[in-house]
Every structure is written in C-alpha cells, then in structure tokens.
Amino acid sequence: MIKILQIGMNDTLGGIESYLINYEKNIDRNKLCFDYVDMTAKGICFQREIEENGSKIHNLPNYRKRPITYIKKLVDLLKKNKYDIIHYNMNSAVFLYPLIAAKMAKTKVIIAHAHNASNDKGILKSILHSINKHFIPIFANNFFACSELAGKWFFSKKILKSEQFFIINNGIDIEKYEFDLEVRKNKRKELDINEDTVVIGHVGRFSKQKNHDFLIEAFYEAYQENNNILLLLVGVGVLQGEIEKKVKELKIEKNVIFLGQRNDVSELYQVFDIFALPSLYEGLPFVGVEAQCAGCYCLFSANITKELTLTPFSHYIEINNIEAWKSEFVKFKINTEVRKNVKIKNFDIKENVKKVFDIYKYTLDKER
C-alpha cells in the first residue's frame, strides 16, 4: 500500500477541496492510503466524511502564525508515519513550508500540484509567488497541474517538458451530473421556478476571483430587456454581503436568489439553463466540467483556459464586455432536448483515479 499525505485542504469549499474529496471517495483502499493535514487549525472541509472513510486528519499549528513550529511538526509527522508521498495542493507558491518539511524529512516523492493560473491576493503575494516558484524544484521532485495554463504559471519550461510533469484532470462522477429531465422538473417545482423561465446559474465562493460584481451588472442589463430570467448563486464567502447589497440597490432581489452552500449542486445544474463563470482567473474549474456534463449552455471568462471546452455549448467572452454577456443571457432559448446526448470524456473520476494511482506508483518506483 502507498501512504500519501495530502496537504492543501482548507475549511471552506473550493477547487482543491472538491478535487480531494472526489479522489478520496474513489480510491482503492487496498492500494492507497490518503491522510490529510489541517493547515489552519480550524478543521477542514468534509472532515466528518473523510474520517468516516477511515482516513486520518492530522492537526498542526497554524502555518501562517507559527511557520517554524509548523515545519518542525510536519517533519516529525512525516518521519513517524513513514509516508511514501507528500502531495501538496497549491493555489500559489506563496507558502512552500510543506515542501520544505518534506525535503527535510527525506520523503521519497514530493509533489507540487498547481491548481490555479493566477491570483488576486495583492502585489506582495504576486511578487512572492513569482520568486518562490523558482524554489519549488529545489524541494519537490514531481509536478502536477490541473491544466497547461496552471502549469505555466507555476513551473519552468524545463519542468513542463520533463518526465516529472503530469496534467491531472479534475475528475468527477459523470453519472451524478448527467442531465435528467425529471430531476429538473422536480427541482424547479421545489424552488418555485416556472418551466419557461430562463435560469442563469453560478457556483463559486464569493471572492474577487469569481467576479460576482460583474455578473450582477450583466444580469441587471439583461433583466431590463427580459424579466422572465433568474440568477441563482450557489456558494458563500467574504464578499456575499456586498453582493447582496448591490442586488438590493438595483432592485432585482426577486430575481437573484442566494442559495448558500449546498449539498444538492448536481441537481441544481439540471435547473440551470445557462452556467456563467466570469472569473478573473482559474486553473481548470470543477464547476465548469460539472456544468458541461449536465448539458448547460456555458459562458466562461476569456481568461479561463480553453482546455475547459468539453462540449459545443461552451463559449468564452471577455470579462469587460458587459454587452456580450447581456446579449447571451437575453437571446437564449430553452431546449432541453439538446442536453440529453451530451457526453464528457477524460474527466470520469474512476478513470482518473486509476491514472493517478499509476503515476503515484511510477514516481515512487523511480525514487526507490
């Protein structure tokens, strides 16, 4: 059995959390052991589910407040439990502590996994990322990325061309998200939404990256031409209060519904007609894969990698072109028939779990 320590899971739902829980649910526990680190001492997303699966969650000091203690404790943890692999899931290269600790502990395989293609954390953190990414290969010996764009933002050309670099798809349970007309009808009834109402959906935490402010403006412009449209916002986050205030100021609160953090997102995709993701940046977003699997008409920011194009219903629009976004919202006509035959390849979680296991085994055999 290969013992792997997964690092990067936070206490709020995001891309890394979705990636890890999807793999956690589908690994062969006779071949792989996933354990996790709580990096912030706040608990991690899906903690109960992870522990019920038999995986361990190790509590360490907050890495921001006590970095030296954090590194020492992580070194001790890696040595004591004799992990074969440390897999560090990263949104940026600002904090390299897990990689440093793994190198100090002489862990055989040290993976740096890029999950983002930019950030909005300010000038200082952008500079730190630009500097620190050059130190990644000093500590890590294998390199993952969710997309080519994310790989380019994190790693050198030399790494990208090497045998130590791998693109890892954000696998999902395809069957769970495939379009289901009955689910659509029942969920719309539950949410009191008419069948002829065009529903625009968005799934993502309320942060600058997701660009909710722009989405509200584009929806408002569309609403002036067609008031039989709704915007459903799924997620929570620090900017939610600001967005709720903006919606009230524009007097569209009856047509913009805040659904919070949900456990029925796969069903909500069936309700959506249009999926809108005007993000300032992404790695390769899970939600974009899920929405396409459900057959949604997808509108993505032009800043998002074209690797996300999985169906003919995916379109990319410049994020400052409010007229183009509005036009797409207004001209859309509901047609559930075209959604029934949508098939997504290469993102089936079961296939990707097998691929990742083979990569883990290959990297470990190479270092032994």
What pLDDT was estimated at residue 39?
A: 81
Pairing of strands 109-114, 85-90: parallel
Which of these, 315, 322, 320, 297, lies nearest to 217 by C-alpha position?
322
The pLDDT, as a whole number, for residue 138 is 97
Half-sphere exposure of 351 (CA within 13 A, CB side): 11
* Bridge partners, 202 (sequence order): 233
Q: pLDDT at position 64, please?
A: 86
- Cα-based distances in Å from 161 to 138, 312, 355: 17, 30, 19
Q: By the 8 A CB rule, do 106 and 75 touch?
A: no
- Give CA separation, 85 vs 54, 67, 90, in Å: 18, 21, 16
pLDDT of residue 13: 82
pLDDT per residue rounded down to tens, the chain (368 residues): 999 999 999 888 888 999 999 999 999 999 999 999 998 778 898 999 999 999 999 999 888 888 999 999 999 999 999 999 999 999 999 999 999 999 999 999 999 999 998 877 778 888 999 999 999 999 999 999 999 999 999 999 999 999 999 999 988 999 999 999 999 999 999 999 999 999 999 999 999 999 999 999 999 999 999 999 999 999 999 999 999 999 999 999 999 999 998 989 999 999 999 999 999 999 899 999 999 999 999 999 999 999 999 999 999 999 989 999 999 999 999 999 999 888 888 899 999 999 999 999 999 988 87
Q: Please tell me the predicted confidence (pLDDT) of residue 63.
A: 86
Q: How far apart are CA 25 and CA 335, in angstroms?
A: 34
In this predicted structure, what is the pLDDT of residue 345?
A: 83
pLDDT of the residue at 118? 84
Helix (H) or strand (E) holding 217: helix 212-225
The phi and psi torsions of 293 (rounded to 5 degrees) equal -60, -35
Residue 231 one-letter amino acid: L
Residue 170: what pLDDT? 87
Closest of 341, 190, 218, 348 to residue 274, by C-alpha:
218
Cβ count near 253 (within 10 Å): 12
Domains of the chain, CATH where assigned: 2-171+348-367 (3.40.50.2000), 174-339 (3.40.50.2000)
